Amino acid sequence: MDNTAGSLNDIYNFIYIAVIILGGVTLTLTLILNAKEKDKRNRAMLICVSSIFFYMITDFITYYFLGEMASGGLVFFFMMASDTLFGVLVAAWIYAVMVLARLETASNIKMLIIFSAIYLLVSQGLSIALGRYDSYTLLVMSGPWKTVLQAVIFVYDATVVIIGVRLSILIHKRYTEQSKINLPLIMSLLLAGYMIWIIYWDYSTWYQTEENLLGVYALDPLIPLYAALNIFMIHYFYKTDPLRISEAQISSEDAVNILARRAMLSDREKEVLTLVNKGLGNKQIAAELSISENTVKRHMSNIFKKTETQSRHELLYKISTANQYNKQI
């Protein structure tokens, strides 16, 4: 029986390590893309990818120590750090969805930060005070403060589920005519679904035994979800090839015209697109067209929306393939 448990533990550890290595590749590519083009969407994805990567590392260390039945303050520190990074992960996930779907506003971002900060301060403060990290079971003695902590965690989880569903509805309404896969919609649906599992996880941590808790820990669906995200991101980099995008910038004027016509761009948006294709940045475009940089940003936002792209790299790639593929925009 012990040999079977040990073998399963080795398999879980191998899967964790493989997914983390895959995540390291994705993080590296995202860092390169963000360095080449400091776009808010690239930055949002970098924050999201980074938060998941560091959470997974901490989670693996936590699970490894739990699996090895280590003792002492180190494993409990990682249990606490894992819970804290999870709150950061959720906030980064929501932020990325809002930015990619162009639903972010200053007030929304501020509310997200305040909501996440209050939850982390209250939940972690109560958990430490009640000794929740003093045992592998994450249990605390019964009492009114335990009820308060349970209520805080449940309200947080349920609120994130509602946010995920709400974002999904808004994104579906805004992009209902798009035929291609919608990344923000998928991410918002996955967020809602994952948080429903987290509610089950939180319930298990209150009532399961130490051995059962290890079993629940190993079933974390974030592992396959993170693996799928990494595969998708690596495929995206393979298709768009941002490391050699400068070669794709030299596209024919016909390709720009084809894309502008299919996307039904205005004359001014077409002019901006032409200059983007020549490698000009926002400031240079503003100077060339004698308009403000904010106006250029507004035109770029419209171009991204109409061409169903989310960054200059993706836009340039679509220009370079405009006269090769008969894509419907």
For the residues 33-43, what does the mean pLDDT come to? 75
Predicted confidence at residue 61, as pLDDT, reads 81
Complete DSSP assignment for 52-108: HHHHHHHHHHHHHHHHHT--SHHHHHHHHHHHHHHHHHHHHHHHHHHHHTT---HHH
Predicted confidence at residue 156, as pLDDT, reads 93
Q: Any idea of the CA torsion for 90, 92, 97, 103, to the nearest 10 degrees?
A: 110
Is there a single domain that holds both residue 116 and residue 212?
yes
CB atoms within 10 A of CB 287: 13
Give the CATH number, domain containing residue 140: 1.20.1070
Dist CA 146 CA 136 (whole Å): 17
Residue 326 lies in a domain: no
Question: Is pLDDT above 80 for 183?
Answer: no
Domain count, the chain: 2
Using one digit for the tens of pLDDT, what is the confidence trace for 87-146?
Answer: 999 999 999 999 888 788 888 888 999 999 999 999 888 888 887 776 655 666 667 888
Domain residues for the domain of 127 are: 2-240
Using one digit for the tens of pLDDT, what is the confidence trace for 189-217?
Answer: 888 988 998 888 777 766 654 455 555 56
Predicted confidence at residue 199, as pLDDT, reads 86
Whole-structure pTM value? 0.70
Using one digit for the tens of pLDDT, what is the confidence trace for 235-248?
Answer: 767 665 554 444 44
Predicted confidence at residue 53, as pLDDT, reads 93
* Phi, psi for 322 (deg, rounded to 5): -60, -35
Least confident stretch, 36-40, 53-57, 162-166: 36-40
Is there a single domain that holds both residue 153 and residue 268?
no
Using one digit for the tens of pLDDT, what is the confidence trace for 254-284?
Answer: 778 888 888 888 889 989 988 888 878 888 8
Residue 325 lies in a domain: no
229 or 19, which is more confident? 19
Predicted confidence at residue 251, as pLDDT, reads 44
Predicted confidence at residue 1, as pLDDT, reads 45
As a whole number, the mean pLDDT across the chain is 79
**CA-closest candidate to residue 217, choices 61, 72, 70, 91:** 61
Q: How far does the chain reach from its first CA to its final CA, in angstroms?
A: 58
Where does a domain end: 182, 213, 240? 240
Structure letter (DSSP) for residue 146? H
Question: Is pLDDT above 70 for 305?
Answer: yes
3-class secondary-structure state, position 135: coil
Is there a single domain that holds both residue 203 and residue 295?
no
Least confident stretch, 15-29, 103-117, 211-225: 211-225
For the residues 70-76, what does the mean pLDDT come to? 66
Is there a single domain that holds both residue 12 and residue 160?
yes
Burial profile 15-43: b = 16 or more Cβ within 10 angstroms, e = fewer: ebeebbebbeebbebbeebbebbebebbb
Where does a domain end: 220, 240, 260? 240
Is there a single domain that holds both residue 292 and residue 147?
no
Is there a single domain that holds both residue 147 and residue 267?
no
Is there a single domain that holds both residue 62 and residue 168?
yes
Give the CATH number, domain containing residue 283: 1.10.10.10
Is there a single domain that holds both residue 36 and residue 102?
yes
Is there a single domain that holds both residue 156 and residue 182?
yes
- pLDDT above 70 covers a percentage of the chain that reads 76
